[in-house]
Copies of this chain bind each other. A is one copy, B any other.
């Protein structure tokens, strides 16, 4: 389905919209995109403001959709790591233009930024 096809159908888009329209989904994707792996509470910290329930729910959806992988280690205390699957990375790539445009557009000053900021390692 190439870009120069002159027909564009929105039907398949509905699925993605359902996914990304979850309040924190894109943020989680992006946070996970910036680090190889993150633990539950690390994500919590980055996404200052999210509740554990919501994080659990959203992660579950993202796992089911195949964007996020999960690995649990049988240790005490427990350790669970989340990471982007290849599909998740592709989604991340697909939404990066949106993020970048957003930041440019809002002319966002980093001085105004509260603690929930994120690092961006050398991606492309």
Question: Which of A36-44, A75-83, A112-120 interfaces with chain B?
Answer: A112-120
Known A-B contacts A1-B103, A120-B5, A121-B6; the reply to A114 vs B11 at CB < 8 A is yes
The smallest beta-carbon distance between A59 and chain B, in angstroms, is: 17
Interface size on A, residues (CB 8 A): 58
The smallest beta-carbon distance between A39 and chain B, in angstroms, is: 19
The interface residues of chain B lying within 8 Å CB-to-CB of A108 are 1, 9, 11-12
Q: Which of B7, B30, B90 sits near A10, CB closer than 8 Å?
A: B30
Residue positions of A touching B, CB distance < 8 A = 1-17, 20-23, 26-27, 30-31, 34, 87, 90-91, 93-108, 110-122
